[in-house]
Every structure is written in C-alpha cells, then in structure tokens.
Structure 1
Amino acid sequence: MTILVTGLIAGALDLLAATLFFIARGNKQPSALFRYIASAVFGKTAFTGGAGMVAMGVLFHFVIAMCWVLCYFVIYPWMHSGIIVDAAAYGLLVWVVMNLVVVPLSKAARRPLLFHSSL
C-alpha cells in the first residue's frame, strides 16, 4: 500500500511540475505533453487521437512513476551516502535511464537531447 500511495503522490507531483514547466516554456496546450507520452507506444497516431490519447499519456505517466517508486524502494536499503547525495544520485539515474534508454527505444519522435532544458 505504501508503494501505491507513494507512486500516486510522486506521479501527481511530477505531472504538475511537468505541466507547469511545459506551460512556462510557452506551450499553450498541456494535452500535447501527454500525447507525446502516449506516442511512446502509439507513435504518430497519438497526436491525431482525441481525449483518449491524452488519458493514455496520463496513465503511462503514472505507470512510469510507479515503476521508479518501486525501484527506489528496492534499492533504498543500500543507500547510505546521506539524503542529498542519495537523492541527487537517484535523480541522475532516473534522468539517464529515461532520456538515454527508454525514450530512444520508444516510438516517440526523436528530439535533440539538450541538458540545459532538463534542469
């Protein structure tokens, strides 16, 4: 139950942060962000789909968040460097795996990898 609740909290906070960042960068339709997430599985079809594709993007977002929370709970017993170092190392691990492994292996359109836009 703890993993489920933690995953829902992490997913909701990340969804909020991603949406606010997306809007702050001048994008007017946050639904495009979730269609992009859905495009990892559905490819270009995700951008022509309706609200169902947006919902699939949100669902995939939460599934990914749950997976990362589960990973954190598995490796937590071996983390002993202090909360700041552990959090930074885990955040870097998540960023590397998502941007250099998961996204390139998906059907999502290729975008240039810009480190400064990840901050």
Structure 2
Amino acid sequence: MKMRPLAFVLGTGLLVGTLDILAACVQYFLKTGNGPAPVFKFIASGVFGGDAFSGGDRMIVFGLLFHYSLAVSFTLFFFLICAVFPSISKAKVTRGVVYGVAIWLVMNLIILPLSNTPKTSLSWIDAGTGMLILIVCIGLPLSFIAARQKI
C-alpha cells in the first residue's frame, strides 16, 4: 500500500529522527552518566544560544522540535535526490553511508558553525562516532526504505 508522499516523508523523518536522537542520548549517557535533557537543550541553543541551558522544560521541547525539523528536512532532501538521480539507488549500503557522512559534514561544517551553539573542539573519535550514528540511524534506514518504496 502506497502512502501519500507528505505522510511518507514525515513518517520516515520521524523514524530516522527518533533513531538518531536515541543514539545521541545513549552516547551522552555513556559519556557522562546524565539524562538526555542537556542533549535537547544543546539543540535548542542553536537558536536560543546559552539561554537554552537555563530555559527549563520549554527548551527541551524546542530542542526536540528543531531536531525533528532537521531530520524531516534531511529525509525530504534524500528522497528528492533519489527521485532526480534514480541511478544512485542501486547501491543501497554505499548510498546510505555516503548520505550519513554528508549529513555529518553539513551539520558540522555549515549548520553548527552558523548557529548559536557553544563552540567546541572535535576529536577524531567524536567525529567518527557522530558519522557512525548518522550512517546507522539515518543514512542506511533512508536508503533501505527508499529502495523498498522504489524511490
């Protein structure tokens, strides 16, 4: 059964966004032993700056909204690329890996530097972990979902 395109993109974006934020929260917990609130407040700080860290539950909600907005946007862009360039859809794993790395590059070289998030140094291990999360939680699922739907 085919879904309407908007519902399909939204549902898929929510799925991969949930996988991604769960991985980020687990990674944060393993690193710090703390709950996920600072992860969501960091995301909110992209718009609200340092005020997000003292903003309470409201900033957590904004962080979630911003996160899912980005996830749905990256999902829509992926499906558009697949529709415009159908020849790339044959190599599902390669396509998913490349897209995960591309998302990491866009986030870390464009979006985060232009945002109000705190500026931090990035280690090779953090970069590799971030890329791996985006590959496994966004790139590969999008690629396999697109192949299944013949996008």
Give TM class, smaller chain: over 0.9
Work out which of the residue numbers 80, 85, 96 in structure 2 matches 1:74: 80
Structure 2 SS opposite 1:68: helix
TM-score where L is the length of structure 1: 0.94
Q: Is residue 2:63 matched to residue 1:54?
A: no
Structure 2 unmatched runs, 5+: 1-6, 130-151
d(CA) in 2 for partners of 1:116, 1:81 = 31
Q: Does 1:42 align with 2:48?
A: yes
State the AA in 1 paired with 2:50: K
Please give the alpha-carbon distance, in whole angstroms, between the structure 2 residues aligned to 1:50 and 1:32.
10
- Identical positions, percent: 35
1:20-57 alpha-carbon deviations (Å, 9 max, x no partner): 11101124131011100000000011011010001100
Q: 111, 120, 125: which is aligned to 1:111? A: 120
Q: Which residue in 2 is equivalent to 1:83? A: 92
How many equivalent pairs are there? 119
Q: CA RMSD in A?
A: 1.2
How do 1:7-26 residues align onto structure 2 when only pairs under 5 Å count? 7-26=13-32
| TM-score normalized by the length of structure 2 | 0.75
